[in-house]
Amino acid sequence: MAIEHKTRTQLVAEAIRAKILSGEIKAGEPLRQAALATEMNVSRIPVREALLQLEAEGLVNFEAHKGATATELSASQIDEIFDLRALLEAELLSHSIGGLTDQDLIDAELILTELESAMDAGDTHLATGDLNSRFHGKLYSRAERPQTRELVDMYSKNSERYVRMHILLAGGLTTAPEEHRTLLEFCRAKDTKKACDFLKKHILGAKNDIKKLLLKIEDEKR
């Protein structure tokens, strides 16, 4: 296995991303470069570069005279993000499913078992983050569509806070494991149409649940 050498900017971006996705940094909270640089024992340059990278992922927003803040969770953003995910991920799966090997499917099953164990243990950060991405990524791994995969990875990061909200507050804890199992069975059967249709339903169903919850929260704030 090749050793991945990460730049200082990548390490800082990962640290800040983890704080935003875990809720340690709240939506709308200012991200002060000097304080972050001191906390992480780096200069301001990698912090600035990391924040620009996170802006491209939709996790950070830059405003004139205000600087960087963690982006707000918004019902108005849900449709575009999740609609794009449904289209792009179904496209990847359609190109991947025929090439999935028996070992790929075994690996996906093992990741799914690990994901379910994390959810049972209450580790929603691991379940909705790394393990969820690895499970879906394994199913898309034979697509040979690198540019589409890059877009999928970006939108997955962009939507991770929403996915966590779905798991914690909008019913995803009970529906996600069964839906992942169903998707895996369609892939195992090499039924491309059913797998892709179900994947779209899985993503758009989560969107509708989260949107309903966010609209309720926004109404309560008024």
The reported pLDDT for the residue numbered 1 is: 38
**Tokens standing for residue 152:** 């999928």
Q: How far apart are CA 214 and CA 5, in angstroms?
A: 39
Give 174's Cβ-side CA count (13 Å radius).
4
Q: How far apart are CA 119 and CA 207, in angstroms?
A: 20
The reported pLDDT for the residue numbered 2 is: 41
Q: How far apart are CA 114 and CA 135, in angstroms?
A: 10
pLDDT digits (tens), the chain, 222 positions: 344 457 899 899 989 987 887 678 888 899 999 999 999 999 999 999 999 988 877 789 898 777 899 987 777 788 889 999 999 999 999 999 999 999 999 999 999 998 888 777 766 666 666 788 899 999 999 999 999 999 998 888 878 777 777 666 655 666 777 899 999 999 999 999 999 999 999 999 989 988 888 887 777 766
Task: For 75-221, give the CATH class.
Answer: mainly alpha
The residues that bridge with 67 in the sheet, in sequence order, are 63
Give 14's Cβ-side CA count (13 Å radius).
8
The CATH 1.20.120.530 domain(s) of the chain lie at 75-221
The reported pLDDT for the residue numbered 63 is: 83
Has this prediction a pTM greater than 0.85?
Answer: no
Angle between helices 8-22 and 44-56 (to 10 degrees): 60
- What residue type is assigned to position 98 of the chain? G
The residues that bridge with 177 in the sheet, in sequence order, are none
Contact predicate 80/203, CB 8 Å: no
CATH number belonging to domain 8-70: 1.10.10.10
Q: How far apart are CA 136 and CA 6, in angstroms?
A: 24
Q: How far apart are CA 149 and CA 184, in angstroms?
A: 19
The CATH 1.10.10.10 domain(s) of the chain lie at 8-70
